[in-house]
Structure 1
Amino acid sequence: MTELLDWFAENQESIFFFAGKVVVALVIIIGGFILARALANTLVRRLDKSNIDNAVVSFMAGIIRTIIIIAALLMALSHVGVQTTSFIAILGAAGLAIGLALQGSLSNFASGVLIMIYRPFKSGDYVDAGGTAGTVQRIELFTTIFKTPDNKLVIVPNSKITGSEITNFSEEPTRRVDMVIGVSYSADLKKTKEVLMDVITSDERTLEDPAPRVAVTALNDSSVDFIVRPWVKSADYWPMYWDSMERIKNALDENGIGIPFPQMDVHLHHPDGAAGKLRVVQQHVDKLDDKKES
């Protein structure tokens, strides 16, 4: 006991100095926990106002909390004299190894966070993204789930979505229906235009603003092409397209306006003139008759 007291008396200054460092280290750790909680709560409150998915908010808050706590622990250890360089090197190497092992998953996760933050689409939107067209069912951290028009569920990695073009068909309240109708060259263009315009304007789904448009767009080999472009609500796009196609065909038939199909005229030329042509045709007919009899 005497020896312990003597040792304490001899090292009293060092002991109090080290104790002071321990107290400061504890204060740093406690302050780190308090700061981590405060920043995490602030982040959660701010991100909640931006309608970001709760899973992303919780995950990001957890990452910030963990980083601050680890930093506080390293600072506390360094303050009491522990060499933290080796710890930092080990953490860096471990992080690099984990990052390389989970490169694809981390890429999908980062893409999922970006999708949820910038929200190029939301659940219920009909989009074309990542090579898949369908209605968005769920947006998750690593994947996005679509339902196609033929009722199939397609799970697409988020990195594939953010790495390609995204077309959102539901973002705007209205859409333009684009149809191309070909009629024969013998058709009356003015009458044809009136018939096509009457078909789309008589449909109650056609919007007055923007106004529908019908115009000649091309003179093809076998047809004169008209563009027919009514504007409708986004939800009415496909019903309007299908109904209009059927009604346009019936209206053209009722008005005697022909819809052409690919065809070719064959002209026979013979050096003996018309008589030679008739002989050639008669020979072909005779051969066909012989084949039928045989």
Structure 2
Amino acid sequence: MELDPQSAYSAIQTGIRQASALVVTYSFSVIGAILLMVIGFLVAGLVERWLFAGLGRVGGFDLTLRRFLSKIARYFVLGLVVVMVLGQFGIQTASVIAAIGAVGLAIGLALQGTLQNIAAGIMLLALRPLRIGEYVEVGSVSGTVEEIGLFATRLRAADGIYILAPNSTLWTLPVKNYTRNGVRRTDITITIPNSDDIEAMQKSLMKLAERDARVKKEPTPAAFVADLGDSSVSITLRYWTSVGDFAATQAEMNKNVRNTLNQMA
């Protein structure tokens, strides 16, 4: 079939007009989308830096939590920008948001345990029941805190063993923090026969505590009868030291108490 030149010319003209209309229509959309992306990236960066700096002025706010929250704010702004860019091309953003929500729900269910650790990490960083350098005991986990992450916390046990504990474990169990209050109490209990001079032993134990400069004057050290048996008496020496002096003082005091017992035997 032979094509009429006039018809062909008309079809070409029609195609050119339609293409020109499409170019004009979508060129504005493309330019608008590019402007939105550029402005959105700039605003997202400004929001991230502003939030990071603002949280830094809050006393004791953890650095890791500052970074996490500022990144969340940045990605939230970028998400809004993506939705606005899609709207420039006539895409129904409500459907996109619904699809993203469904995908997010599926991912959340698949990563439920991980999200629990993240939530627990945020609570640990915000409420700070433990800090880096503190010695803590949580359930069967004990050691010096070396790093608090969003997923897990790294500790070093007293014997140097590496421990990585999930944040959800540390958050859901009671925390014993041996460092936080700055002082620790020590009780040393000895047992002597009823025939021994109880008062003399109490005075000897008190002298040991009073001679040691690491033992705090307040609370006052005490030596008291802790238990009475049929043929023996238990006497407890109680004193307080700083956390840093606790282990060394306890070791030396145990040795001195033993020497005192031998001298009075």
Match of 2:49 among 41, 53, 64: 41
Q: Distance in 2 between matches of 1:82 and 1:238?
A: 68
Q: Does 1:211 align with 2:226?
A: no
What TM-score do you get using the length of structure 2 for normalisation? 0.79
State the partner residue of 1:246.
Answer: 255
Q: Distance in 2 between matches of 1:137 and 1:33?
A: 35
Q: Does 1:52 align with 2:35?
A: no
Please tell me whether the aligned partners of residues 130 and 163 of structure 1 are also in contact (alpha carbons under 8 angstroms): no
Cα distance 1:33–1:215, how it changes in 2: closer, same or farther (>3 A)? Answer: same
Q: Distance in 2 between matches of 1:64 and 1:149?
A: 39
Q: Does 1:147 align with 2:156?
A: yes
Q: Distance in 2 between matches of 1:176 and 1:117?
A: 29
Please tell me whether the aligned partners of residues 195 and 252 of structure 1 are also in contact (alpha carbons under 8 angstroms): no
Please tell me whether the aligned partners of residues 182 and 224 of structure 1 are also in contact (alpha carbons under 8 angstroms): yes
Q: Does 1:85 align with 2:88?
A: no
Question: What code does the residue aligned with 2:63 have?
Answer: D
Q: Distance in 1 between matches of 2:121 and 2:254?
A: 40
In the TM superposition, what whole-angstrom CA distance separates every residue of 1:173-227 from its partner, at most 9, and x where no partner exists?
Answer: 3222122222222232222211211122122221222221122233245532222
Q: Structure 2: which 5+ runs fail to align? A: 1-11
State the partner residue of 2:7.
Answer: none
SS of match in other structure, 2:208: helix
Please tell me whether the aligned partners of residues 130 and 156 of structure 1 are also in contact (alpha carbons under 8 angstroms): no
Alignment of 1:1-294 (within 5 A): 3=14, 31-49=39-57, 50-54=60-64, 56-78=65-87, 81-256=90-265
What TM-score do you get using the length of structure 1 for normalisation? 0.72
Please tell me whether the aligned partners of residues 138 and 145 of structure 1 are also in contact (alpha carbons under 8 angstroms): yes
Question: What code does the residue aligned with 2:108 have?
Answer: G
Cα distance 1:149–1:32, how it changes in 2: closer, same or farther (>3 A)? Answer: same
Question: What code does the residue aligned with 1:105 have?
Answer: T
State the partner residue of 2:5.
Answer: none
Higher Cα radius of gyration: 1
